[in-house]
Amino acid sequence: MSSARNETRMAVRSCSAFVTAAAVAALLVTVAPVVAHHSAAAAYDESKRVDTQGTVTRVLLKNPHSWVFLEATDEKGQKVEWQIEMAAAASIGWTPATLPIGTEVKVGGHPSRAPGSHGMTAARFTKLDGTPIGRGQ
Amino acid sequence: MKSTKRRLARMQSAGVLLCAAALMATSGDPLPRLRAQTAQTAPATAPMPNLSGVWDGTGRAHPINSETIPWARTMAVGRTLPDGTKADANYVSNFPVLNERGLAFQKIFDEPLSPKYDCQPATPPAIEFDPYYMEVVQWPDRVLLRYEKDDQLRTVWLDGREPKVSDYGIQGLSVGRYDGNALIVTTTHFVFDITGFDDYNGIPSSPQKKVTERYWRDGEQLKATVTVEDLMFLRQPASYTMRWLPAAAGYKLKPFDCDPETARMSVQFIPAKYK
């Protein structure tokens, strides 16, 4: 009887582990980035990384790419607008509630190539305390 | 009197049944066919393979397209190929061999020229490989290839028609036939497309572009070999083989609704090649 109960418990555990693994796999599949609209290398330097902090002023969840606009302060104390290119709305898995306007965030990613520009891609967003926001692309 | 009425009612019922039976015998099935499906329908001579369904062409099925995917000069051993298999030491380059005109165009190509930044859709042989879902619908006289990316629809005509000069268009005119377990599609009558070969290598395609696709089922997978010929730019045909996986049950293609503002936004970050 005890052995049968153990077997049942193990079966339940295996089943719940399987369900968890399946859910994680499904989530990964759902949010797999689709970034193949253009060559990122033409516009962004994928060998470099840039980090900034600022306030979200606009979010466009669109196809072929979503964009986040950020008001930040540069090293000279001047206000600058960062334009951050994200995955397609079809695959990013964000809603307008993911990153509300006015949110203070930290963000890091590959910088744009054009001199003097403030663009970024492959970005990871976090709250100021380091909590991840959504999924980067 | 009552018995005559009963007999009349019985005869009416029998008549209705006879009419229905005759109708079914004539049409071959109890449902009326769509008008569009019967027009110019060639008689089916062999059973057609079942390629229908919604197919997953995202990164789950094959590597995401890039400068080296699906066209690659070299491939590291063990890297996943577009058809889901792994490259071995005998990998043979499938990168197109360009003629001098093709090389010249590639040299002067400037990324902002690419019409995708204005939401112009990709065309064969690139559209097949875009990492999105695709749906195949098989009708007696045509096959519909619906692409989630850019809301594109390609119609493959099976009725034996020949393309006309009025058929020139961005996706060309596709005709097809079944060959055993495969669907063979031939597409011609493309208009000039400055990125008509792919979205990454600055290779255009001309109205002489001819794309041949062979689709078949390999177990649960849908596979295709895509071959492109274009005497204006290529010295020889170039070809790749890819796969799709079945989409999750119930998945329906979503509207893409390409947004021209966000499509062109990244162009400002590309250093200018020309003033």
pLDDT of res. A39? 72
| B150: pLDDT strictly greater than 60 | yes
Closest-CA residue of chain B to A29: B60
Same domain for B107 and B8?
no
Please give the residue that has the higher pLDDT: either A65 or A22: A65
* pLDDT band, very low/low/confident/very high, at A2 (cuts 50, 70, 90): very low
Please give the residue that has the higher pLDDT: either A92 or A130: A130
Q: Identify residue B100 by its one-letter amino acid code.
A: E
Class of domain A40-133: mainly beta
Contacts of residue A90 in chain B, CB cutoff 8 Å? 132, 148, 254, 256
Contacts of residue A29 in chain B, CB cutoff 8 Å? 60
Closest Cα in chain B, distance from residue A64 (Å): 6
Domain boundaries, chain A: 40-133
Disruptive mutation site among B251, B253, B262, B264 for chain A (greatest number of A CBs within 10 Å): B262
Closest Cα in chain A, distance from residue B88 (Å): 26
| A12: pLDDT strictly greater than 50 | no
Residue A44 has a CB neighbour count (10 Å cut-off) of 24
Inspect the interface and report whether the beta carbons of A37 and B263 lie closer than 8 Å.
yes
**Residue B275 maps to a domain:** no
Closest Cα in chain B, distance from residue A117 (Å): 7
How far apart CA A118 and CA A114 sit, in angstroms, is: 9
Closest of B60, B79, B249 to residue A25, by C-alpha: B60
| B146: pLDDT strictly greater than 90 | yes
ipTM over 0.90: no
How far apart CA B184 and CA B156 sit, in angstroms, is: 10
| B10: pLDDT strictly greater than 80 | no
* pLDDT band, very low/low/confident/very high, at A26 (cuts 50, 70, 90): very low
Please give the residue that has the higher pLDDT: either A135 or B89: B89
Inspect the interface and report whether the beta carbons of A114 and B271 lie closer than 8 Å.
yes
Contact A101, A87 (CB under 8 A): no
CB-based contact, B131 to chain A, within 8 Å: yes
Least confident window among A2-11, A103-112, B101-110, B195-204: A2-11
* pLDDT band, very low/low/confident/very high, at B6 (cuts 50, 70, 90): low
| B178: pLDDT strictly greater than 70 | yes
Closest Cα in chain B, distance from residue A121 (Å): 10
**Residue B274 maps to a domain:** no
Same domain for B94 and B128?
yes
* pLDDT band, very low/low/confident/very high, at B251 (cuts 50, 70, 90): very high
Average pLDDT on B171-176 reads 98
Same domain for B222 and B119?
yes
pLDDT tens-digit map of A29-48:
333 344 556 678 889 999 99
**Residue B258 maps to a domain:** yes
Q: Which two tokens stand for residue B4?
A: 């005559």
CB-based contact, B266 to chain A, within 8 Å: yes
Reduced DSSP (H G I as helix, E B as strand, rest coil) percent helix, strand, coil of chain B, to 5: 25, 25, 50
Same domain for B196 and B109?
yes
Of A39, A62, A114, the CB nearest to B200: A39
Least confident window among A114-118, B80-84, B152-156, B212-216: B80-84
pLDDT tens-digit map of B220-236:
999 999 999 999 999 99
Same domain for B87 and B18?
no
| B74: pLDDT strictly greater than 60 | yes
| B181: pLDDT strictly greater than 80 | yes
Please give the residue that has the higher pLDDT: either B26 or B177: B177
How far apart CA A102 and CA A100 sit, in angstroms, is: 6
pLDDT of res. A56? 97
With a CB cutoff of 8 Å and minimum separation 6, the contacts of A99 are A56, A59, A68, A105, A125, A133, A134
Same domain for B199 and B163?
yes
pLDDT of res. A36? 58
Please give the residue that has the higher pLDDT: either B87 or A14: B87
**Residue B45 maps to a domain:** no
Same domain for B88 and B18?
no
Same domain for B72 and B180?
yes
Same domain for B15 and B132?
no
* pLDDT band, very low/low/confident/very high, at B111 (cuts 50, 70, 90): very high
pLDDT tens-digit map of B12-43:
554 444 433 443 443 333 333 333 333 444 45
How far apart CA B269 and CA A111 sit, in angstroms, is: 9
**Residue B247 maps to a domain:** yes
pTM: 0.77
Q: Which two tokens stand for residue B110?
A: 């400037």
CB-based contact, B109 to chain A, within 8 Å: no
| Domain encompassing residue B207 | 53-269
Same domain for B246 and B116?
yes
Average pLDDT on B77-84 reads 91
Please give the residue that has the higher pLDDT: either A3 or B48: B48
CB-based contact, B110 to chain A, within 8 Å: no
pLDDT of res. B204? 96
Closest-CA residue of chain B to A85: B266
Inspect the interface and report whether the beta carbons of A42 and B270 lie closer than 8 Å.
yes
Q: Which two tokens stand for residue B235?
A: 């010295």
> Total structural domains in chain B?
2
Same domain for B12 and B132?
no
**Residue B38 maps to a domain:** no
Q: Identify residue B144 by its one-letter amino acid code.
A: L
pLDDT of res. B64? 85
* pLDDT band, very low/low/confident/very high, at B187 (cuts 50, 70, 90): very high
